[in-house]
């Protein structure tokens, strides 16, 4: 199904309808709330910023179930505008009532681009990050809200986002490619020639959302981009790019790159970082895995350099594309462009 | 995405394109070959039927990678026509060559409804079963092939299919509904009201493909339908229905029905059964789970009776619908209609 849809250019309204539809099912909200790293880091960040939130007016962009809005009231916010475009807003209203915060939190059903607030806000809080940080491009809405509704000197939580890349060796792929060599022993049929077909299918140009195990990461992740949410513009988001350089820990067959991100919350004492690194506890974002066309052998200290560029897909503005130019050791420069398949925009994971 | 597509009536050709598209990816074929219960039962059934296959002409309907055709040659078939509509046929050709059977196996790219064979066949072999047996309605093609190409007295492997249903108590659903009561302790936000929303989302009318654990099955599965592949007609497949009666093993909260199937191969000694029962080793078909709108308590020997009716969906003829009329104990008669969501027709599981 996705193949077919992918080829068709979606009109803006249909894109939005599909996008907002995907958040009406309970599963995604359950996954987000149950993501302890995500929810607890936001909770801590908001509570530790109570100095800057107490008595202030807050805008929660894409409030979902309204949990961040409630954290803000718990941190002393005078008023929170919880803006949510999809029907989960109806649940947010009930949750706000259940927590007796109707006087403090106003749930507004609509997109932040279209809602009209009675006043400017001093704080913007939002959990806008998608797969590979920019998938779903909800950050655009946060920046729009910033430029239209944030008072001078106001704060944004989180205030910074950083993107990282590292070469990895995914053993699952190796196993899946090897599987076809094992069929003969099992059933007396030689299917080894399927391994080539499997390679083209598995090591394709989809951005695969996967949990990368620490052992499979072949170097320290290299930061290739940083976004300051106080200054970055929507225009700049149309192409987020940067160079990287990694040195292999040891000998292995590189068969993919792993992209992950962090967002940082300013805090009185020291900043709080929400990390989706494979070296940190797993989050529902997992990591974005980009498979090479074929594995490349590296040894200790083999240098992997390149440039990553991320931009919205032409078919659907909410879908992210990742283009990677890379050189592994003495190999000649190569490049591959990846995109998120359509199924990932469904509630169904 | 699925919601939107589901509402649109698909034209026959588009349906077929989507259906055949979903088999071009390696994942589904890997899953099928790696399903040891499936592949080994077919292998055993074909080899044990070598008496009836030796020197005979065979038609493999929906041959895929051609593994069943190769089993037939190993069983002594004189000639096998391996008919496959989707591009995996190209791989089947390579596999046949790799096993030096080009002289015996002719891979024909096309639908069995449109291909023209030079002769009638004495054996039809096919692995046509979909989720809940009839999803994808590939059996129609097997029956078409039977009526057009099978010689009088010819055999069909498998030759019989049976459908079963049992009430179950799925603890995962209970956990997911309970989750919303645990949020307050974790984050100090009362989200218990989300439990109702979760119920409507999770206990919906989708046919869920899931591995049901033995402990969760509340009675002996009741057989509600049997299809004799030698006599059943395409017309009869437009509505496969039957009554059932189950008696609860003990006290529990019924929150779903589980539908599974078996297919039977005639064998000289005793018939060979490929079972997808939750009481048997897991297959890639798992079980079809149909969630009630709300759990119903039963005690030991509580009688659960009803009637199941399976028919192709109006939107897409390849999608199966399951309608269940049921009475649990003293409860009044209830009914619910289920269908397979669109994502399941993608290679992506």
* A167 and A123 in a common domain: no
Report yes or no: B67 at the A interface, CB cutoff 8 Å: yes
CB atoms near residue B257 (< 10 Å): 26
Q: Which of A100, A127, A154 is the last residue of a domain?
A: A127
Cβ contacts of A14 on chain B, cutoff 8 Å: 4
A22 contacts B1? CB cut-off 8 A: yes
Residue B205 is classified by DSSP as S
Checking ipTM against 0.85, whether it exceeds it is yes
In this structure, the answer to whether residues A123 and A174 fall within a common structural domain is no
Please provide the average confidence, as pLDDT, over all residues in chain A.
92
Question: Does position B200 have pLDDT exceeding 50, yes or no?
Answer: yes
Q: Which residues of A touch B43 (CB under 8 A)?
A: 187
- B214 interfaces chain A, CB cutoff of 8 Å: no
The answer, for A47 touching chain B at a CB cutoff of 8 Å, is no
Mean pLDDT of B2-14: 41
The mean pLDDT of A103-130, rounded to a whole number, is 97
pLDDT at B8: 38
How much of chain A exceeds pLDDT 90, in percent? 87
Q: Which of residues A77, A110, A127 is at a domain's end?
A: A127
CATH number of domain containing B26: 3.40.50.150
Q: A13 Cβ partners below 8 Å, 6+ apart?
A: none
The three state secondary structure string of chain A is CHHHHHHCCCCHHHHHHHHHHCCCCHHHHHHHHHCHHHHHHHHHHHHHCHHHHCCCEEEEECCCCCHHHHHHHHCCCCEEEEEECCCHHHHHHHHHHHCCCCCCEEEEECCCCCCCCCCCEEEEEECCCECCECCCCCHHHHHHHHHHHEEEEEEEECCEEEEEEEEECCHHHHHHHHHHHHHHHHHCCCCCCHHHHHHHHHCCCEEEEECCCHHHECCCCEEEEEEECCCCCHHHHCCEEEEEEEECCCCEEEEEEEEEEEEEECCCCCCEEEECCCCCCCCCCCEEEEEEEEEEEECCCCEEEEEEEEEECCCCCCCEEEEEEEEECCCCCEEEEEECCHHHHCCCC
CA B150 to CA A123: how far, in whole Å?
75
Per-residue confidence (pLDDT) for residue B24, from 0 to 100 = 67
Asked if residue A7 is part of any domain, the answer here is: no
Question: Please, which pLDDT band fits residue B103 given cuts at 50, 70 and 90?
Answer: very high
Q: What is the distance between the terminal CA atoms of chain A, rounded to a whole angstrom?
A: 15
Q: Are residues A304 and A207 both part of a single domain? A: yes
Domains in chain B, number: 2
* Whether residues B176 and B324 fall in one domain: yes
Confidence of residue B15 (pLDDT cuts 50, 70, 90): low
A187·B39 Cβ contact <8 A: yes
The pLDDT of residue B10 is above 60: no
Residues A117 and A166 in one domain: no
pLDDT in tens, A161-184: 999 999 999 999 999 999 999 999
A146 within domain boundaries: no
Looking at the domain assignment, is residue A209 inside a domain? yes
State the smallest CA–CA distance between residue B245 and chain A in angstroms.
33
Domain extent for A94: 12-127
B162 is annotated as an active-site residue: no
A23 CA: distance to closest CA in chain B (Å): 11
Does the annotation count B247 as an active-site position? no
Mean pLDDT of B182-197: 97
Q: What is the pTM of this model?
A: 0.90
B39-95 residue pLDDT tens = 999 999 999 999 999 999 999 999 999 999 999 999 999 999 999 999 999 999 999
Of A127, A152, A180, the last residue of a domain is: A127
HSE toward the beta carbon, residue B73, CA cutoff 13 A:
19
pLDDT surpasses 80 at B152: yes
pLDDT band with cut points at 50, 70 and 90 for residue B329: very high
Contact A21 B30 (CB under 8 A): no
What does the pLDDT average to over A331-338?
A: 96
Nearest residue in chain B measured CA to CA from A21: B1
Average pLDDT in the A84-93 region? 96
In degrees, rounded to 5, the angle at the alpha carbon of residue B224 between the alpha carbons of residues B219 and B228 is 135
What average pLDDT does this structure show over A319-332?
96
On whether both A192 and A330 belong to a single domain, the answer is yes
Answer whether residue B70 is part of any domain.
Answer: yes
Residue B51 confidence (pLDDT): 96
- Confirm whether A86 is domain-assigned: yes
Q: Where does residue A108 rank: exposed (0-12), middle (13-18), buried (19+ CB within 10 A)? A: buried
Q: Which of A26, A43, A190 sits opposite B98 (nearest CB)?
A: A190
Give B276's pLDDT tier (boundaries 50, 70, 90). very high
Q: Name the residue in chain A with its Cα closest to that of B4.
A: A18
Is there a single domain that holds both residue B287 and residue B205?
yes
State the average pLDDT over residues B160-175.
96
| pLDDT over 80 (residue A12) | no
pLDDT at A318 > cutoff 90: no
CATH code at A178? 2.70.160.11
Distance from C-alpha of A83 to C-alpha of B155, rounded to nearest angstrom: 65
Domain-located, residue A298: yes
Q: Has residue A143 been placed in a domain?
A: no
Tokens of A184: 């003969």
Taking alpha carbons only, the member of A321, A70, A272, A306 closest to residue A165 is A306
Q: Are residues B233 and B333 in the same domain?
A: yes
Question: Do B107 and B174 lie in a common domain?
Answer: no
> Residue A110: what pLDDT?
96
CA angle in degrees (0–180, nearest 5) for A172-A255-A323: 120
Contact call for B94 and A36, based on CB within 8 A: no
pLDDT over 70 percentage in chain A: 91
Long-range contacts of A70-73 (CB under 8 A, 24+ apart): A70/A95, A70/A96, A70/A99, A70/A101, A70/A105, A70/B189, A71/A42, A71/A43, A71/A46, A71/A47, A71/B187, A71/B189, A72/A46, A72/A123, A72/A125, A73/A101, A73/A104, A73/A105
Our CA-based measurement puts residue A147 at a distance from the nearest CA of chain B, in whole angstroms, of: 31
Chain B contact present for A39, CB below 8 A: yes
Q: Name the least confident of A21-30, A131-140, A295-304, B317-326.
A: A21-30
Which tens digits make up the pLDDT trace of B249-266?
999 999 999 999 999 999
Q: Is a pLDDT exceeding 90 seen at residue A1?
A: no
- CB-based contact, B343 to chain A, within 8 Å: yes
pLDDT at B31: 95
Query: Are A101 and A213 in the same domain?
Result: no
Q: What is the pLDDT of residues A228-263, one digit of tens each?
A: 999 999 999 999 999 999 999 999 999 999 999 999
Average pLDDT, chain B: 92
> What pLDDT digit, counting tens, does each position of B213-251 carry?
999 999 999 999 999 999 999 999 999 999 999 999 999
Asked if residue A340 has pLDDT above 80, the reply is yes
User: Touching check for B39 and chain A: CB below 8 Å?
Assistant: yes
Q: What are the two backbone dihedrals, phi and then psi, of residue A124, each rounded to the nearest 5 degrees?
A: -115, 125
Residue A14 has pLDDT above 80, yes or no: no
Distance from CA of B292 to the nearest CA of A (A): 17
B87 and B215 belong to one structural domain:
no
Nearest to A266 by CA among A149, A123, A73: A123
- Could you tell me if residue A156 is inside a domain? no
**Would you call B95 and A30 a contact, using CB atoms and an 8 Å cutoff?**
no
Does any CB of chain B come closer than 8 Å to the CB of residue A40? yes
| B119 and B171 inside one domain | no
Give yes or no for A189 touching B (CB within 8 A).
Answer: yes
């Amino acid at each position: 199904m996705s193949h077919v849809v992918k080829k068709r250019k979606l009109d803006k309204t249909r894109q939005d309808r599909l996008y907002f539809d995907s958040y009406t099912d309970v599963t995604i909200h359950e996954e987000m709330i149950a993501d302890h790293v995500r929810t607890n880091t936001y909770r801590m960040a908001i509570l530790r910023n109570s100095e800057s939130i107490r008595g202030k007016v807050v805008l929660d962009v894409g409030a979902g179930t309204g949990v961040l809005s409630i954290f803000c009231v718990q941190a002393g916010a005078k008023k929170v505008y919880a803006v949510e475009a999809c029907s989960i807003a109806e649940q947010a209203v009930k949750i706000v009532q259940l927590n007796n915060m109707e006087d403090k939190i106003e749930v507004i059903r609509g997109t932040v681009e279209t809602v009209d607030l009675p006043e400017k806000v001093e704080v913007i809080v939002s959990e806008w990050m998608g797969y590979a940080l920019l998938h779903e491009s909800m950050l655009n809405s946060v920046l729009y809200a910033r430029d239209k509704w944030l008072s001078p000197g106001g704060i944004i939580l989180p205030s910074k986002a950083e993107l990282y890349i590292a070469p990895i060796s995914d053993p699952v792929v190796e196993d899946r490619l090897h599987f076809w060599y094992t069929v003969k022993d099992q059933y007396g049929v030689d299917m080894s020639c399927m391994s080539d077909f499997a390679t083209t299918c598995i090591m394709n140009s989809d951005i695969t959302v996967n949990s990368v195990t620490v052992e499979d990461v072949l170097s320290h992740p290299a930061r290739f981009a940083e976004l300051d949410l106080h200054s970055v513009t929507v225009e700049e988001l149309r192409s987020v790019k940067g160079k990287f350089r990694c040195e292999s820990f040891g000998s292995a067959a590189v068969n993919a790159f792993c992209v992950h991100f962090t967002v940082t919350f300013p805090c009185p004492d020291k900043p709080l970082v929400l990390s989706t690194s494979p070296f940190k506890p797993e989050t529902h974002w997992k990591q974005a895995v980009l498979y090479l066309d074929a594995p490349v052998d590296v040894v200790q200290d083999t240098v992997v350099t390149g440039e990553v560029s991320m931009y919205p897909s032409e078919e659907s503005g909410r879908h992210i594309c990742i283009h990677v130019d890379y050189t592994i050791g003495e190999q000649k420069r190569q490049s591959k462009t990846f995109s998120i398949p359509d199924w990932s925009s469904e509630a169904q994971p």
